[in-house]
Structure 1
Amino acid sequence: MNTKISIAAVIAAGLLLGAFILRGHKPGEAAHGDDHDHAAEAPAAAASATATTTATVAAPRTRFSDEQLRHNGVLLATAGPARLQGQLQLLGEVALNQDRHLSLTARLAGRVEAVHASAGDRVQRGQLLAVISSPALADQRAELLAARQRLALAQATHEREKRLWEERISAEQDYLAARQAWQEADITAQAAQQKLAALGAAPATDAQGLARLEIRAPIAGAIVDRKITVGDVMQADAPAFQLADLSTVWVELAVPARELPHLQEGMTARVRASAFEAEADARLAYIGSLIGAQSRSAVARLVLPNPRGLWRPGLPVTVALRAEPANVPVAVPLEALQTLDDAPVVFVRQGQTFEARRVETGRRDDRQVEILTGLRAGERFAARNSFVVKADLGKAAAEHAH
Structure 2
Amino acid sequence: MNTPKKITSRLAIAVVLALGSLLGWAILQKDKPQATDEHGHAEHAEASGHKDDEHHGGEAGKPHADAKEHDDDEHHEAAAEAKPSKGPHGGRLFTAGGFGLEVTIFEDGVPPEFRLYTTLGGKPLPPAQTTVKLTLERLGREPQVIQFKPQGDFLRGDAEVVEPHSFKVSIEAAQGGQTHRFGYEQEEARVTMSDAQLQQAGVLLAVAGPARINSQVALLGEVRYNGDRTVQVVPRLAGMVEAVPVSAGDRVRKGQVLAVLSSPALADQRAQGLAAQKRLALARSTFEREKKLWQDKISAEQDYQQARVALQEAEIAEQNIRQKLADLNATATSGGNLTRFELRSPIEGIVTDKRITVGQSLGESEAVFTVSDLSSVWVEAPVATKDLGTIRSGMAVQVKASGFEAQAAGTITYVSALVGEQTRSGTARVVLPNPKGLWRPGLPVRVEVTSGDAEVPVAIQMDAIQSVRDWQVVFGRYGQQLEARPLELGRSDGKVVEVLSGLSAGERYAAKNSFVIKAELGKAGASHDH
- Normalising TM by the smaller chain, what interval? 0.7 to 0.9
Q: 1:46 to 1:331 in 2, by over 3 A?
A: closer
Q: State the 1:318 CA deviation.
A: 2.2
Q: State the 1:268 CA deviation.
A: 2.7
* Counterpart check, 1:155 vs 2:284: yes
> 1: CA distance between counterparts of 2:164 and 2:234?
65
User: Which amino acid in structure 1 is aligned with residue 97 of structure 2?
Assistant: A
Paired position in structure 1 for 2:260: 131
- SS of structure 2 residue aligned to 1:323: strand
User: Which amino acid in structure 2 is aligned with residue 40 of structure 1?
Assistant: G
User: Which residues in structure 2 correspond to 1:106-121 (within 5 Å)?
Assistant: 106-121=235-250
User: Which residues in structure 2 correspond to 1:311-350 (within 5 Å)?
Assistant: 311-350=439-478
* Counterpart check, 1:390 vs 2:447: no
* Counterpart check, 1:57 vs 2:161: no
* Counterpart check, 1:40 vs 2:169: no
Cα shift readout 1:58-88 (whole Å, capped 9, x = no counterpart): 3422345566666655323134x43211333
TM-score by length of 1: 0.80
Paired position in structure 1 for 2:3: none
Q: State the 1:269 CA deviation.
A: 2.2
> 1: CA distance between counterparts of 2:296 and 2:383?
83
User: Which amino acid in structure 1 is aligned with residue 99 of structure 2?
Assistant: A
> 1: CA distance between counterparts of 2:195 and 2:502?
24
State the percentage of identical aligned residues.
51
Q: Which has the higher helix share?
A: 1
Paired position in structure 2 for 1:170: 299
* Counterpart check, 1:220 vs 2:328: no
Cα shift readout 1:101-143 (whole Å, capped 9, x = no counterpart): 2111111111111111111111111111111111111111111
Q: Is the 8 A contact 1:74 1:388 kept in 2?
A: no
Paired position in structure 1 for 2:62: none
> 1: CA distance between counterparts of 2:288 and 2:491?
82
Q: 1:293 to 1:380 in 2, by over 3 A?
A: farther
Instruction: Pick one of 194, 205, 210 that aligns with 1:75.
Output: 205
* Counterpart check, 1:208 vs 2:336: yes
Paired position in structure 2 for 1:303: 431
- SS of structure 2 residue aligned to 1:86: strand
Report how many aligned residue pairs link the two structures: 361
Q: Is the 8 A contact 2:205 2:508 kept in 1?
A: no
Instruction: Pick one of 306, 311, 319 that aligns with 1:182.
Output: 311
- SS of structure 1 residue aligned to 2:357: coil
Q: 1:353 to 1:388 in 2, by over 3 A?
A: same
RMSD: 3.0
Cα shift readout 1:253-278 (whole Å, capped 9, x = no counterpart): 12222222222223232222222222
User: Which amino acid in structure 1 is aligned with residue 221 of structure 2?
Assistant: G
> 2: CA distance between counterparts of 1:89 and 1:39?
56
- SS of structure 2 residue aligned to 1:282: strand
Q: Is the 8 A contact 2:413 2:429 kept in 1?
A: yes
> 2: CA distance between counterparts of 1:189 and 1:45?
97
User: Which amino acid in structure 2 is aligned with residue 42 of structure 1?
Assistant: F
Q: State the 1:186 CA deviation.
A: 1.1
Cα shift readout 1:309-359 (whole Å, capped 9, x = no counterpart): 222222222222233223334321112212212421022344553321111
